Amino acid sequence: MTFVQLVECRTRQFEEMDRLMDRWVAATEGRRTATHSLVGRDHSDRDHYVEIIEFPSFEKAMENSNLPETDRIFQEIVALCDEMPTFTDLDVVRDEQLNKATARRFFEDVAVDGDLDLLDELFLPGYRDHDIGKAEQTTTGPAELRRDVEFWRGAFDFDFTLHRQICEGDQVATHWTWTGTHQGDFMGVQPTGREAAMDGVTVFRFEDGRIAEGWWTYDLLGLLRQLGAVDLRSVP
């Protein structure tokens, strides 16, 4: 079970504390068991800081605490605090990564199920799209994205398999496999009835819970080859 530790302290020497935390990260490289650390400052009390540290389990957290560097640097941090830091140990019972859920809604509800009205809910009006498969590789706005979805849905009966999603900061990367049956005009290629598949990765950047920018990477050449539009044997 994922385990989270909250560490609260009061200090007027955060810059020095920040340098100590950088030293701990460098000193424990390859041995620490913490997977994520976030430090926040109380908006209404500028001397109050909270660190949120995530571990795979309580046992891994204890391994981390027993590292000699952890104890040594913690003692130095305590010396910078106005009072003894407090600790709260939490077993995580729900972990909802909302940006990942929003990204999934695009693939499942918009692209596959065709609920195009969701685009205005999921994407910002100034959304910027970067797509290697388009002549104009950067376009702006949900309306342009709507045309792209309509184009693909008109050309194929398709589905997405989402293999994994990685969330870092305001960005979510989704590794997917697309499978489709060619049933309409696609880049000048008339319907073949062939089944095709391709792997790809989409990275969405979020602002205020909505998608602000997207980057698409996928094997378009391989798709055209599967449709018989490109013969790679003719390429030297």
The domain locations on the chain are 3-91, 98-234
| Identity of residue 154 | G
Q: The tokens of 124 are what?
A: 């910002």
Which stretches of the chain score pLDDT less than 70?
Answer: 135, 137, 231-236
Angle, CA 23 vertex, CA 18 and CA 24 arms, to 5°: 95
Task: Dump pLDDT digits (tens) for 171-196.
Answer: 999 999 999 999 999 999 999 999 99
Report pTM: 0.79
Listed residue (19, 16, 25) closest to 53, CA to CA: 25
Which of these, 40, 215, 32, lies nearest to 137 by C-alpha position? 215
* Topology given in CATH for the domain delimited by 3-91: Alpha-Beta Plaits (3.30.70)
Per-residue confidence (pLDDT) for residue 167, from 0 to 100: 92
**Residue 51 in tokens:** 């660190």
Of the candidates 86, 78, 8, the one whose C-alpha atom is nearest the C-alpha of residue 42 is 8
Asked if the 98-234 domain carries CATH number 3.10.450.50, the reply is yes
3-91 against 98-234: fold identical = no
| Residues in Cβ contact with 153 at an 8 Å cutoff, skipping those fewer than 6 apart | 111, 114
